[in-house]
Structure 1
Amino acid sequence: MECVFGLVGNGFALVVADTSAVHSILVHKSNEDKIMILDSHKLLGASGESGDRVQFTEYIQKNVALYQFRNGIPLTTAAAANFTRGELATALRKSPYFVNILLAGYDKETGPSLYYMDYIATLHKIEKGAFGYGSYFSLSMMDRHYHSGMSVEEAIDLVDKCIVEIRSRLVVAPPNFVIKIVDKDGAREYAWRESIKDAAALPPTTA
């Protein structure tokens, strides 16, 4: 029941993801961070098979860092999106990665941007988007309430509306979400929305 969604506002882009690591009917942990800080001004939110998601996002992160190390300049958000799409397309013909990606970034020349990529290497530049079962509800909420040029406060209010809708509508809804934002000051964690704590962090029960 994964859910990753994001949007572009006035001078920023943000990505939101559930934090549940599940397999079949089991929840392994409820604090899995599915949004990678790709570099100083890029975020990569991913959903899909856990192994593919972790392996592919780390591969992209290291190659983006390698490009900057070799050339002395970072990739633009558009260039990073096209590189990622190319790697997905190459893998599709060999051993595909079953991951869906929202790539958000901020560039001095062009400002904030958000790119949508699915596991069959589709690439689109978008203003709002979502993956997973939660997308049925978050996309409808964003269709109704999103407008270009949103402030951070308006965007977070919309994110909270989406989370409430997901939690109330899905039969098995993820309880926790992480919100990350990227703007001229860089990519960073903004907030968590938690309804339960991870089991490992809870004190042991006594008989």
Structure 2
Amino acid sequence: MECIFGLVGDGFALVVTDTSQVQSIVVQKTNEDKIMILDSHKLLGVTGESGDRVQFSEYIQKNILLYQYRNGIPLSTSAAANFTRGELATALRKNPYEVNMMIAGWDKDQGPSLYYLDYISTLHKVEKGGMGYGAYFLLSLMDRYYEKNMSLEKALELVDMCIEEVRSRLVVSPPNFIIKIVDKDGARELAWRRTVEDKQGPPSAAAPIASPMAEDVSV
């Protein structure tokens, strides 16, 4: 029941994903960051099988950075998207990755851009888009309320509408979402939308549990 979506606004691009780590019917954690910062001005949002997601996204990140170190210039967002598409297509014929991606970036000559890339290597440049079961609900909202060159405030209002729709309509809805932005100032985390907090270990004041085999030493 994963969900990923993104949009392009006036001088920026946003990528949003749920943060649930799921195995079968078990939610293992609700604070998994599924949006990787590829370099100073690129984001890669990935959903899919957890092993494929982590392995493929790290492989793409390291190779994009390697290109920059070797050549002294970073890849453009379009070049990074096409490189990622090529690697996914190559793997598709050998050992396919079960991943869906949204790639966002900002280039000095092009401004912000957003790319849709699915598990069978279909690549499209889009202004708005979504994947996963949540996309069945949020795409209609984006068609209705998205505006070209919308402000960040309006974009966040639309993001919140989409998150609320997914939470209220999806039969098994993810509770938490992370929002990241890329613009002329770089790629960075912008906000979280939480309804559940992961517990970090047992409470410090928890009472000890008596063993049923403990010896009764009362007098």
Q: Distance in 1 between matches of 2:40 and 2:202?
A: 33
Q: Distance in 1 between matches of 2:54 and 2:136?
A: 24
Shift of the 38–201 alpha-carbon distance from structure 1 to 2, 3 Å rule, reads farther
Q: Distance in 2 between matches of 1:63 and 1:14?
A: 23
**Residue in 2 aligned with 1:180?**
180
**Residue in 1 aligned with 2:217?**
none
Per-residue CA deviation, residues 126-168 of structure 1 (Å, 9 max, x unaligned), is 0001111111111111011001011000000000000010110
One-letter identity of the residue aligned with 1:51: G
Superposition RMSD on alpha carbons, in Å? 1.2
Q: Distance in 2 between matches of 1:5 and 1:201?
A: 32
Q: Distance in 2 between matches of 1:42 and 1:202?
A: 38
**Residue in 2 aligned with 1:149?**
149
Q: Distance in 2 between matches of 1:21 and 1:112?
A: 29
Q: Distance in 2 between matches of 1:198 and 1:7?
A: 28
Per-residue CA deviation, residues 42-61 of structure 1 (Å, 9 max, x unaligned), is 00001110000000000000
CA contact (8 A) 1:16 1:178 kept: yes
**Residue in 2 aligned with 1:200?**
200
**Residue in 2 aligned with 1:34?**
34
**Residue in 2 aligned with 1:50?**
50
One-letter identity of the residue aligned with 1:145: Y
Q: CA deviation at 1:171?
A: 1.2
Per-residue CA deviation, residues 30-51 of structure 1 (Å, 9 max, x unaligned), is 0000000010000000111000
Q: Distance in 2 between matches of 1:137 and 1:201?
A: 35
Unmatched tracts of structure 1, length 5 or more: none
Moved more, 66-75 or 136-145: 136-145
One-letter identity of the residue aligned with 2:126: I
Shift of the 48–109 alpha-carbon distance from structure 1 to 2, 3 Å rule, reads same
Q: CA deviation at 1:201?
A: 6.0
Shift of the 22–72 alpha-carbon distance from structure 1 to 2, 3 Å rule, reads same
The total of aligned residue pairs comes to: 207
Is 1:25 the equivalent of 2:29?
no
Q: What SS does the aligned partner of 2:37 have?
A: strand
Is 1:60 the equivalent of 2:60?
yes
Q: What SS does the aligned partner of 2:66 have?
A: helix
One-letter identity of the residue aligned with 1:63: N
CA contact (8 A) 1:29 1:199 kept: no
Q: CA deviation at 1:203?
A: 2.9
**Residue in 1 aligned with 2:97?**
97
Shift of the 132–138 alpha-carbon distance from structure 1 to 2, 3 Å rule, reads same
Q: CA deviation at 1:202?
A: 6.7
**Residue in 2 aligned with 1:72?**
72
> Considering only CA atoms, is the larger Rg found in Structure 1 or Structure 2?
2
Q: CA deviation at 1:199?
A: 2.9
